[in-house]
Amino acid sequence: MDYKKVKTETTAVTRQKERFYEQTGNIYETVVVLSKRANQIGTEIKIELDQKIEEFAPATDNLEEIFENREQIEIAKFYEHLPKPSLLAIDEYLNHRIYIRNPHKEKSGY
């Protein structure tokens, strides 16, 4: 998913708690789903950022040649302004873009 194009809040906002257990039936299960999805999103963004910064890394690693790389700074600033992974996960959840599967419920037949 292209997180750069997602239009969601960049700060915490007040939400209706009832919407958080519509899909799971349990607020605690929803918190677990959101935290796992936020971890996935955070990992994806970090990998993408590392790949982009690596493209501009200097070929030599001399301490005397360390200088500010303008492209790396611009890329880092762009990623700093993206919404936090937890806010992206909440947006996905509330817009029904997360597939939720609980293997414990499937086994026990709840």
Confidence of residue 107 (pLDDT cuts 50, 70, 90): confident
- Structure tokens of 66? 């360390």
- Structure tokens of 10? 């960049």
Total-model pTM: 0.81
Rounded to whole angstroms, the Cα distance separating 73 from 13 reads 29
pLDDT for 65 beyond 60:
no
Query: When comparing pLDDT for 43 and 56, which is higher?
Result: 43
Distances (CA, A) of 34 to 39, 54, 70, 99, 107: 9, 30, 35, 11, 22
Rounded to whole angstroms, the Cα distance separating 86 from 28 reads 15
Domain map (residue ranges) of the chain: 28-102
